[in-house]
């Protein structure tokens, strides 16, 4: 199930699903410990003996964000109950604090009491073992805690200067044990038991009673404070009561508006909806980044139910590509922390491993250390090379000499020296590693191009720091690699490049499957985008990977089985992916010589917008027949690729206009 509305501040990430209910609470590292394990924290409404949770079918929902900010503005209407619920949600940009402004609208022609029930189905630290919860009369609040994870929940009603306690009812109970479903069931009659304490597998519910006039409205506030101890959460709570929750909500809205538009750029050449999605994508990308530097691939916990693992890891490749788009958009502070992270985790030998947890520990992996009776590095070499490529983009954009200085020896030189050692001496190509899709072991076009780009970046750094011997070595290895790639990756019979060379018994067997990763040959600059051979390859790729349904888009590669939603290979070579579709748009942009030739790229950007959720969230893939999101959602890489493509489009449009005027 997609996460329609992620909000966060780099340490606290909260995801809302398509019903407007909380599904994930990550803290203190974004993407590491999910304190709900993906279970829904329900929100229910009661009035006049009728009750409904927000996931009931009778609700009509519009889930959205405010303009250029990470404050939600959602409306949920229930005609059977004659109620509309308006929600504005924010994670404070400075404190680990969730604020929910809840406005109930009474459509009946009589005054009514409307009760809101907030359920907390927590599994602190990812397990219910040892959880505790209690009602504290001093704060008029519920506490959930275990170890160094504390959650304080309170309810407030009123307006500025008239704040009142709003915790009208509460219950703490047992869930998933002895046939007990949880205290959320206790809410469905509009009354709570008032049980004050429980431990183990538990949940809690808090109720807010709001009085509405005929056709009128009433407002209340939900507050969740998160910290490592009792003193932390009570300090945050005191500040909320002193300042009022509206201050935290509005200051957070203002902060993110400032953040999203800090470059003050013109988007006049774009349709308004594409410009809006550009800023929305930047904000969604930011929610997926931990303040300690990890750029997470995606934090949709439902993927755990597919393969007992998630996308909540830092892949250096994904991170480098996301960082590159943020660098171009002007966000140096975030990308500096990413490169610090990479420097911390790089091995002494100079390569980065498969993926990492947000705290820098080595993450789970299916890459083997042993194959065919021999040791084998469990790596994707592009993950090391692209960090160098992105770091040079950072330096070239910001000229941050003091920052780069501390990474030159331990990250740049260390990685470049290892890359130069990990070479097939006969061909000059990199030794085999795993491809970017993490499925095939061999020598891959994408990897070769990214390694070439990483070596060029390292050579640029070495030249800048006056180490000419390193510079000459890196450029020499890169030049030989490019020559070998031009020869060995070209299929003269099929008149296109091949995605991989599989090493068997000392020979290199070409893999003829058309794969969108072939864009790497020109994307990283090893070959020109308008090279005749590249044009032939891109034409063939576009034809082979086009999804021939009403949904459209491009698949990853021919006969892609991952999350396969359809068995019509003649029409659906694989599910359409946002990044693969946008790569084609980037090629149209790179090769355009007139403004008219940018039109196909604009169509594909519009495709990405059309297949995003109403909130602007992009998944990894969409269903080829229905357009429904598939796999993780949001996928950070999808949004960063959209950002990069928009920037490419605007830059190229400006270039072409300048050329025309001169």
Q: Which domains does the chain have, with CATH numbers?
A: 5-260 (2.70.98.10), 315-544 (1.50.10.10), 546-662 (no CATH)
Q: What is the pTM of this model?
A: 0.96
Tell me the average pLDDT across 416-422: 98
Among 474, 322, 424, residue whose Cα is nearest residue 383:
322
Among 487, 375, 480, residue whose Cα is nearest residue 425:
480
CB 287 within 8 A of CB 6: yes
Q: At what angle do helices 272-287 and 316-329 cross, to 10 degrees?
A: 130
User: Running DSSP on this structure, what letter comes out for residue 84?
Assistant: E
Give the side-chain half-sphere CA count within 13 A for 425: 1
CB 380 within 8 A of CB 450: no
Structure tokens that stand for 374 in this block: 């021999």
CA pair distance 266, 417, nearest whole angstrom: 42
Does the pLDDT at position 504 exceed 90?
A: no
CA pair distance 438, 417, nearest whole angstrom: 24
Count of other CB atoms within 10 angstroms of residue 147 = 10
Tell me the average pLDDT across 550-564: 95
Give the side-chain half-sphere CA count within 13 A for 426: 6
Q: Spell out the residues 6+ positions from residue 101 whose beta carbon is closer than 8 angstroms to its own.
A: 86, 87, 88, 89, 219, 221, 245, 246, 249
CB 29 within 8 A of CB 358: yes
The CA R_g of the chain, rounded to the nearest whole Å, is 27
Residue 594 region, left (φ>0) first, then alpha (ψ -120 to 50), else beta? beta
CA pair distance 643, 186, nearest whole angstrom: 46
CB 100 within 8 A of CB 76: no
Backbone angles phi, psi at 143, to 5 degrees: -115, 135
Count of other CB atoms within 10 angstroms of residue 317 = 27
CB 648 within 8 A of CB 586: yes
| Residue 482 Cα distances to 18, 397, 503, 573, angstroms | 47, 26, 19, 30
Count of other CB atoms within 10 angstroms of residue 129 = 11
Q: Which residues of 481-620 form beta strands (DSSP E)? A: 490-491, 496-497, 500-504, 507-511
**pLDDT at position 576:** 98
CA pair distance 84, 104, nearest whole angstrom: 6
Among 542, 631, 540, residue whose Cα is nearest residue 581:
542
Does the pLDDT at position 160 exceed 70?
A: no
CA pair distance 205, 120, nearest whole angstrom: 6
Tell me the average pLDDT across 526-532: 98
**Tens of pLDDT along 435-462?**
999 999 999 999 999 999 999 999 999 9
Does the pLDDT at position 111 exceed 70?
A: yes
**Tens of pLDDT along 59-69?**
999 999 999 99
CB 186 within 8 A of CB 206: no
The share of the chain scoring above pLDDT 90, in percent, equals 91
Count of other CB atoms within 10 angstroms of residue 142 = 25
Structure tokens that stand for 526 in this block: 């090893």
Core vs surface per residue 598-609: b (16+ CB within 10 A) or e = bebbbebbebbb
**pLDDT at position 158:** 74
Higher pLDDT, 168 or 179: 168
Among 82, 79, 87, residue whose Cα is nearest residue 109:
82
Terminal alpha carbon distance of the chain: 52
Helix (H) or strand (E) holding 50: strand 50-53
By CB atoms closer than 10 A (0-12, 13-18, 19+), residue 330 is middle
**Tens of pLDDT along 235-252?**
999 999 999 999 999 999
Model confidence band, residue 71 (pLDDT cutoffs 50, 70, 90): very high
The share of the chain scoring above pLDDT 70, in percent, equals 98
Question: Would you call 585 helix, strand, or coil by DSSP?
Answer: helix
CA pair distance 654, 243, nearest whole angstrom: 47
Does the pLDDT at position 161 exceed 70?
A: no
CA pair distance 365, 359, nearest whole angstrom: 16
Among 296, 332, 330, 336, residue whose Cα is nearest residue 316:
296
Q: At what angle do helices 414-421 and 381-398 cross, to 10 degrees?
A: 140
**pLDDT at position 302:** 74
Point out which residues pair with 366 in neighbouring strands. none
**Tens of pLDDT along 581-613?**
999 999 999 999 999 999 999 999 999 999 999
Point out which residues pair with 224 in neighbouring strands. 98, 153
The per-residue DSSP string of 88-110 comes to EEEE-SSSSEEEEEEEEEE-SSS
Estimate to the nearest angstrom the gap between the alpha carbon of 623 and the chain centroid.
19
The per-residue DSSP string of 589-652 comes to HHH--SGGGGHHHHHHHHHHHHTS-TTS---SEE-TTT--EESSSS-HHHHHHHHHHHHHHHHH
For all residues of the chain together, what is the average pLDDT? 95
**pLDDT at position 373:** 87
CA pair distance 314, 368, nearest whole angstrom: 19
Polymer length of the chain: 662
Higher pLDDT, 109 or 569: 109
CA pair distance 454, 459, nearest whole angstrom: 9
Tell me the average pLDDT across 280-293: 98
């Amino acid at each position: 199930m997609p996460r329609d509305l992620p909000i966060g501040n780099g340490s606290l990430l909260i995801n809302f699903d398509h019903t407007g209910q909380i599904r994930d609470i990550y803290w203190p590292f974004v993407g590491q410990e999910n304190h709900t394990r993906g279970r829904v924290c329900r929100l229910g409404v009661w009035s006049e003996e009728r009750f409904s949770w927000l996931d009931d079918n009778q609700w009509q929902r519009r889930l959205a964000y405010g303009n250029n900010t990470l404050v939600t503005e959602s409306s949920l209407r229930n005609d059977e109950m004659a109620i509309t619920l308006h929600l504005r949600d924010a994670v404070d940009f400075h404190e680990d604090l969730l604020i929910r402004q809840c406005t109930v609208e009474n459509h009946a022609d009589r005054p009514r009491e409307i009760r809101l029930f907030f359920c907390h189905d927590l599994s602190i630290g990812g397990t219910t073992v040892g959880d505790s919860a209690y009602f504290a009369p001093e704060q008029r609040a519920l506490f959930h805690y275990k170890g160094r994870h504390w959650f304080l929940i309170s309810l407030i009603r009123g307006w500025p200067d008239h704040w009142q306690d709003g915790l009208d009812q509460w219950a703490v109970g047992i869930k998933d044990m002895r046939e007990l479903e949880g205290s959320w069931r206790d809410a469905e009659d509009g009354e709570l038991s008032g049980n004050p304490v429980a431990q183990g597998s538990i949940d809690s519910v808090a109720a807010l009673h709001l009085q509405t006039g005929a056709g009128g409205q009433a407002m209340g506030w939900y507050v969740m404070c998160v910290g490592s101890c009792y003193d932390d959460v009570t300090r945050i709570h005191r500040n909320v009561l002193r300042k009022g929750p509206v201050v935290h909500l509005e200051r957070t809205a203002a902060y993110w508006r400032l953040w999203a538009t800090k470059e003050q750029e013109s988007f006049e050449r774009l349709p308004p909806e594409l410009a809006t999605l550009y800023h929305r994508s930047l904000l969604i990308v930011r929610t997926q980044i931990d303040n300690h530097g990890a750029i997470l691939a995606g934090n949709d916990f439902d993927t755990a139910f597919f393969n007992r693992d998630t996308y909540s890891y830092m892949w250096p490749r994904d991170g480098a590509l996301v960082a590159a788009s943020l660098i171009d958009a002007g966000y140096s502070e975030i990308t500096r922390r990413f490169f610090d992270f990479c420097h911390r985790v790089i091995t002494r030998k100079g390569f980065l491993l498969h993926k990492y947890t947000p705290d820098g520990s080595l993450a789970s992996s299916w890459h083997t250390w042993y194959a065919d009776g021999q040791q084998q590095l469990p790596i994707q070499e592009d993950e090391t090379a692209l960090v160098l490529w992105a770091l040079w983009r950072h330096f070239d954009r910001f000229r941050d000499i003091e920052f780069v200085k501390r990474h030159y020896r331990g990250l740049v030189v260390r990685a470049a020296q290892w890359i130069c050692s990990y070479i097939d001496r006969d061909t000059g190509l990199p030794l085999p590693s795993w491809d970017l899709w993490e499925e095939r072991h061999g020598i891959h076009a994408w990897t070769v191009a990214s390694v070439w780009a990483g070596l060029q970046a390292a050579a640029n750094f070495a030249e800048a720091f006056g180490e000419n011997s390193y510079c000459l070595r890196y450029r020499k290895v890169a030049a030989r690699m490019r020559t070998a790639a031009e020869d060995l990756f070209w299929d003269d019979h099929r008149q296109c490049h091949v995605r991989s060379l599989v090493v068997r018994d000392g020979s290199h067997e070409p893999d003829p499957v058309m794969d969108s990763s072939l864009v790497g040959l020109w994307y990283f600059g090893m070959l020109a985008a308008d090279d005749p051979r590249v044009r032939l390859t891109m034409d063939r790729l576009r034809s082979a990977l086009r999804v021939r349904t009403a949904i459209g888009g491009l698949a990853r590669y021919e006969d892609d089985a991952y999350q396969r939603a359809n068995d019509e290979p003649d029409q659906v070579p694989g599910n359409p992916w946002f990044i693969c579709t946008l790569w084609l748009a980037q090629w149209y942009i790179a090769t355009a010589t007139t403004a008219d030739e940018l039109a196909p790229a604009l169509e594909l950007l519009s495709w990405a917008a059309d297949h995003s959720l109403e909130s602007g969230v992009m998944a990894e893939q969409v269903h080829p027949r229905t357009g429904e999101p598939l796999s993780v959602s949001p996928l950070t890489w999808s949004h960063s690729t959209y950002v990069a493509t928009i920037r490419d489009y605007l830059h190229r449009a400006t270039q072409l206009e300048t050329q025309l005027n001169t």
